[in-house]
Amino acid sequence: MRLLTVLVVLAATLVLAVVTMADPVRRRSHDPGCRTDRCDRHINAWLADLYRRWRAHYLATHHPWSTAVASWFDDAGGTACGVHYLRGLASRTLGCGQAVHLCFRGACEIAYVEDRGPFVDGRLFDLNPGARDAINCTDLCGQEGGRLVWYVR
C-alpha cells in the first residue's frame, strides 16, 4: 500500500512538471503578456534605462551631507525674503523658503532660508536665534569644537 501511494505522488508530480513546462504563456513578474525572450529583453532594457534615469535625477537633486561654518544673526528687522521663520537661516545661494537639514553635536533641525548672507568669508549660513538654539550652537557653529553638517531637503 505504501509503494502505491509513493508511485501515485511521483506520477502526480511528474504530470504537474510536464504541464507547467508546456505552458505556452510564460508568467513574468513584470509583464504577464510577454510571451517571447525578445519581449522579455526589451522590457528588461526599458526598466534598466528607467532606473538609470531616475537614479541620475535623484543624485542630482539630493545633495549629500556637507560641512559648514555658521554664525548667527538677529532677524528682528526685515528679511530679504519678507518672512520670519521660527527656525530660519540666511544663505547667499539657496532660494527663499528652501528647507535645510542642520545637525550640530547630535542635535538636528530643519531650518528655512529667510534672508541673504552671511557676508563674511568662510561662513556658509547665518542662523536666526530659533535655529541657533534648536541645534545648541554657540557663536560659530562648525568651528568651536563641533561639526555642523547640512543638506538641502
Q: Are residues 41 and 105 in the same domain?
A: no
**Which CA distances in Å does 28 have to 24, 25, 44, 109?**
12, 9, 11, 45
Give the dihedral sign, CA 117/123/124/127: negative
Pairing of strands 88-91, 107-115: parallel
* Amino acid occupying residue 146: G
Q: Are residues 81 and 101 in the same domain?
A: yes
DSSP tag of 137: -
Query: Of 11, 46, 61, at which residue does a domain stop?
Result: 61
If residue 144 lies in a helix (H) or strand (E), which one and from where to where?
none
Residue 71, classed as helix, strand or coil, is: strand
Q: Are residues 57 and 77 in the same domain?
A: no
Number of domains in the chain: 2
Q: Are residues 77 and 146 in the same domain?
A: yes
Flag whether the pTM goes above 0.75.
no
Pairing of strands 125-127, 148-152: unpaired
**Is the pLDDT at 151 greater than 70, yes or no?**
yes
- Residues 5, 53: Cα–Cα separation, whole Å: 56
pLDDT per position as a tens digit, 64-121: 788 999 999 998 888 999 999 999 999 999 999 999 999 999 899 999 999 999 999 9
Give the CATH number for residue 126. 2.40.40.10
Domain around 25:
2-61
Q: Are residues 78 and 134 in the same domain?
A: yes
Q: Are residues 56 and 71 in the same domain?
A: no
